[in-house]
Amino acid sequence: MDPFLIRFVLAVFLSSLIAIRALKRKSLDRSGALAGFLVMAVHFCAGFRFGFLLLVFFFSSSKLTKVGEERKRKLEEDFREGGQRNWVQVLSNSAIATIMLLVLALYQEQQWCLNTKESIVITGLIGGIIGHYACCNGDTWSSEIGILSSGEPRLITTFKKVRKGTNGAVSNEGLLAAAAAGFVVGLAYVAVGLVSAECASDASWRQLLVIPLATASGLLGSLIDSLLGATVQYSGYCNVRRKVVSKKSPTVKRISGVDILDNNAVNAVSILLTSLLTGLACLYIF
């Protein structure tokens, strides 16, 4: 049987199971489950390591979202039970990687390896995908753990203490979490590559450099997201709801930023920049 056909059937089967599970556990709503199914199917069809990177991000982020729910309910403007995500949130955290995988499909007759001697384009694209999920994981871990920190965070542009939930606020716990999240993504990529042997070049010790690179990308992605959040995303404190909110109103006092991008747009821009920088780094390293 055609290897691609086998992978396609497995991709549809696994993606269906995961999407249904996420829907039942309220990690995704119906639109998010449908978008997630399509995205996961593309990732698994492209290669098990890419599908696994997506799963590492999705499951670890979903678990962390549910940690300290009662405290987050009091602090987060858009708190949802179980951290339920819709199709917009799913695509803002996966569309760029999915597009890069579809571009990789044009090179289906070549091995997809981090090796510039074989292909600069493929190396750059794979590096971009690693950077993509290191950024997604780093930003989510940083937000979910940082908001539960004991002290007040500081605004990344002024280093002044601000209320928890303020866009662009950072904490030591959050920054460490972002680096750890990137480390997990890098480790997952290397580990699955060794087990699946999808690329002969992965036997090289140089592939281990993906781990520190992804760690740095997780931290960098979180910092870029925070910088954008502090400048082009509005944050204000609502005296009625007693929460930090992202929309202006007579009862809201401005904390930082201007109302240009919403949270999903900030995520997409930070992912794009981190993917680009990580892909370029891979061209020098590999």
**Across 127-149, average pLDDT:** 89
Report the percent of the chain where pLDDT is more than 70: 86
Instruction: Count the Cβ atoms, other than its own, within 10 Å of residue 161.
Output: 12
pLDDT tens digits for range 14-57: 788 877 877 777 777 788 788 888 888 888 887 788 888 888 88
Reply yes or no on whether the pLDDT at 196 is more than 70: no
Reply yes or no on whether the pLDDT at 159 is more than 80: yes
State residue 175's pLDDT score: 92
State residue 200's pLDDT score: 55
State residue 178's pLDDT score: 94
Reply yes or no on whether the pLDDT at 65 is more than 60: yes
Cα distance between residue 274 and residue 218, in whole Å: 9
Q: pLDDT tier at 135 (50, 70, 90 boundaries)?
A: very high
Long-range contacts of 55-58 (CB under 8 A, 24+ apart): 55/18, 56/133, 56/137, 56/184, 56/185, 56/188, 57/93, 57/133, 57/136, 57/137, 57/140, 57/185, 58/18, 58/22, 58/27
**Across 260-273, average pLDDT:** 90
Q: Angle 62-102-284 (CA atoms, 0-180°, nearest 5)?
A: 85
Q: pLDDT tier at 143 (50, 70, 90 boundaries)?
A: confident
Q: How many domains in the chain? A: 1
Highest mean pLDDT among 112-126, 181-195, 200-214, 216-230: 216-230
Question: For residue 184, which amino acid is it?
Answer: V
Rounded mean pLDDT of the chain? 82
State residue 71's pLDDT score: 66
Q: How far is CA 159 from the centre of its chain?
A: 25
Domain assignment of residue 250, given as a range:
3-285
Reply yes or no on whether the pLDDT at 190 is more than 60: yes
Q: How far is CA 109 from the centre of its chain?
A: 29
Reply yes or no on whether the pLDDT at 109 is more than 60: no
Cα distance between residue 132 and residue 272, in whole Å: 7
Strands (E), the chain: 154-155, 169-170, 235-238, 243-245, 252-256
**Across 147-160, average pLDDT:** 85
> How many helices and strands, by DSSP H and E, does the chain display?
10, 5
For CA atoms 7, 9, 12, 18, the dihedral sign is negative
Cα distance between residue 72 and residue 164, in whole Å: 10
State residue 130's pLDDT score: 95
Predicted structure pTM score = 0.87
